Structure 1
Amino acid sequence: MVTSDTESPSRERYDWLDQARGLVVIMLIVSMSTYYYSGNVLTDDPPLGPTMLNHGYQYFNGYPPLFTLVDAGQAIFMFLMGFVGYNAFTRRLRMRGSRCAFWYATRRVGALYALAFLESVVLHYFLEGKAMWYDFLIESTFTMLALGSLAGFASIVLCPNADRRILVALTLTVIHSLLFACPFFDHDTGDDNIFHLMYFPFGVMGLCAVAIAGTCFGQWCFAHEGDPYTRFQKRMVPVTWAALFAAYALDWIQPPEPHDATAAHQLLSVGMAGLLIIGFYSSGQMGLRFPLLSVMGKNLLVMFVLGGVFLEMYLDLIPKEFLIRWPVAAPFLVGILPLGALAAVAALLDKLGIIVRA
């Protein structure tokens, strides 16, 4: 859905939130580039780029897995979709009725599934000669985002109270942890399921829990306008720190793993997303802002789609051997140039007053 940037009072934009979303987009695009040039340390094919700007499993895909901040990116993205989805859904429910709210939720989930079909079926068929139907149904990034969004919207309807709904997310995390501890299910450990264990959608379940937690933060934030004490000190800050401490404790038992979205991974992502929101809200209160982050955050989904669909086509044109031979060119060609192109698109959309809503 394409709308004008001229917002009514009921649809006021939060610049600090656009700033946070913009930073997440930049990190996602950077991680896509470093992932493309990952290499294999076991075969003397050196990865390109800093370790902390790539997925840890590209350096060591074993147990316990190597984990970097980038590995939490997808879950943080899911959290933010739940966070903003709460406000968008309940605003429509309150002002236009249930029909409009449910149509918005259907459109959001349907758009993400359509992107999953484009990525996993259409593009894979034309580029690699085969359609990835299994990825489309449950494994692709856009599919997981769609299912997580669906879980978030359903939780808002079935459990309107955020203080109770956060317990639903916590219950899902506990169940996930217990099932993950069972010896009957396959884990993503790089061994290609040599024991032929049963498959379980741990990744989807984990992201659903994160999305539900995101809706809780959204309600705590937007339901107490003008009351920062209630908004942050009583709920968001304590839950953020509790999630980080719990993630550290669980790291000793079930280390964070992005594909299976283990309990530690879920809690760490919720804690990091909470710090992100708290930090950017505080910066906004002090008048600190970066205009580029705002324009990219306004069209977060567009930036993500452009990066996911077209970035790989662009990187196909740049041989890894050239970047290794000329390391000075790597940051410009792999990082600055694609980010600059996306920023130009975002700035153009912002200048035209266009916001593409899923």
Structure 2
Amino acid sequence: MEISAAGRLEVRITTADVGKRVSVRSLIEHGPSGERFGDTVGVLTSWDNGVLRITRKSGESVRVAESALVAGKVVPAAPARRRGPAASYEELARIAARGWRPVESERLGGWELRAAGGFTRRANSALPLGDPGMPLDDALAAVRRWYAARGLPAYVQTATGAEGTQEPLCAELERRGWVREVTAELWTGALAPVADLGDPSSEVPLSREADEAWLSRYQRKGVSEVALRVLVGGSPGAPAGGPGEPSVWFATVPGDPGAAAPAAIGRCVVDGRWAGFAAVEVDPAQRRRGLATAVMAALARRALEEGASAAWLQVEVDNEGARSLYGRMGFAPHHAYHHYREPRTSSSESSAPAGDGAL
């Protein structure tokens, strides 16, 4: 906290500091163990009518009454992460979007509107990576019309916790009644150490196609033709793996003789220097046997052969098992991302259900 020469705590932030990263101390009521003060660090996303709104790295929005402020100051941006490959938020957002292609998209200025029949929020949400070319309220109205025309609820995907992320947009969406339904994280790591974890002599079959065996282990049952197009990664008129296009690989560890589904599966998208892992799933009866590691190692070796050197993946914040595994592999969080759903109205409530799956 900021302390004056006389040793007093001071509030050294004003409304002019909206948009900057701040640290504040405030009086709190009913604190744990009788604590009287609480500390909050994050981006000051608004200061209106005597209330500060601070968006933390996790995306959580904290309201602090101006009258409760004890101390406050602007603080430097969070230091660059030492683990994992260097990358900006925008680079990773674009790579992740190319790794999970919708079947239909349209530009709204710097925003991309994406739809895939409701299969996952990632493929059915607006991705704002620039100026939409119009005031925010007009842009959000256009987003809602676009999704309503397809019988889908409108979602906007935002990010927090890294340089260049969208804490102010999160706050503006919340002020307009948009509801944050899901938060996950994008993690990055070096690719070669992942490849070294597996036993090269232990063959894990790889394929360009998600065949019936692979799909029988995939957690989202009844995969439609639209969903299959998202999985294989091809954009209209440009098959996956074509010139300038990402290449998609599927790994399958066969189950025991007579098993109804493979023991484990995984998916990897190779796009330039990046390899993106997804859909790593293991038969519950065969967990803790290193199958997830074997799948990722085999996919990593293929990605290295294609020239990739860095890796990314997405994981839900409450999936402790996956987070522990990826941490041991050398991955670390880069930023959090969130899906905000349009305010509930009679028309939106009657739209198609939310996307299949949290991510």
TM-score (norm 2): 0.25
Larger strand proportion, structure 1 or 2? 2
Structure having the higher Rg: 2
